[in-house]
Amino acid sequence: MRSVDWPGRWLQDRLGYEPRDLALFRAALTHRSASGPNNERLEFLGDAVLNLIIAHHLYAAFPQASEGDLSRLRARLVSREPLAEVALTLGLGETLQLGSGELRSGGFRRQSILADALEAVCGALFLDGGLAAVERVIARLFAPRIAELPDPEALKDAKTRLQEYLQSRNLALPRYAVLNIEGEDHAQTFEVSCEVPELGRRVQGRGSSRRRAEQKAAECMLTQIETSPAPDGHA
């Protein structure tokens, strides 16, 4: 049984926020498996608010980053896993209202439930205190994570980095081809080639899907380019 002021104490202690409308936050911290108003609508709103504020902070923190770079950086902060990690640091799971089934199955530790609830809290903060109020809370929660983000270049996958390397030198894009597929449908291994004819290079990669095999092949190609001179004189 929750106390009468639930979740007011949690909001003050963990978020430093004095709520005006506790009903908003009760809904934000109530999963759909429990009775009463739940957090699905607030999650929808909070997702948009969180993305806006994080995008604004990244825009300011990385003035040279491209749109793609900023999108990759934002994904490091507002996807399910990092949001669940932030929720755990706040003890959000312990204050969640869950149905009996979710309680028995450990729903208060499930990443999807924690991430959704954190977004819902952001939605409630926005409705209760406006954009400035929610911005203060989000900035405090995410500032250390923004400060620890790697250089945007480090977030690009191998295929993207290889493509940009070739385009910057006016070379044709690499050619990928599936060479072999082994195993049963549910456990296949793909073997893929990656060829850059203008550099006279061809490598192979293996993976549990065509996409992963292509990424492996692109990594091999980048490694080969970085560690040995181009045979035709291209830098």
Q: Give catalytic residues, as residue numbers.
A: 47, 119
Rounded Cα gap, residues 222 and 58, in angstroms: 28
The amino acid at 206? R
Of the candidates 99, 100, 94, the residue with the CA atom closest to the CA atom of residue 114: 94
Exposure of 62 by Cβ count < 10 A (0-12 exposed, 13-18 middle, 19+ buried)?
middle
Give the list of residues 6+ apart from residue 192 with CB closer than 8 angstroms, or none: 176, 177, 178, 179, 204, 205, 206, 207, 210, 213, 214, 216, 217
> According to the 3-state scheme, what is the secondary structure of 121-137?
HHHHHHHHHHHHHHHHH
The 10 Å Cβ neighbour count of residue 56 is: 13
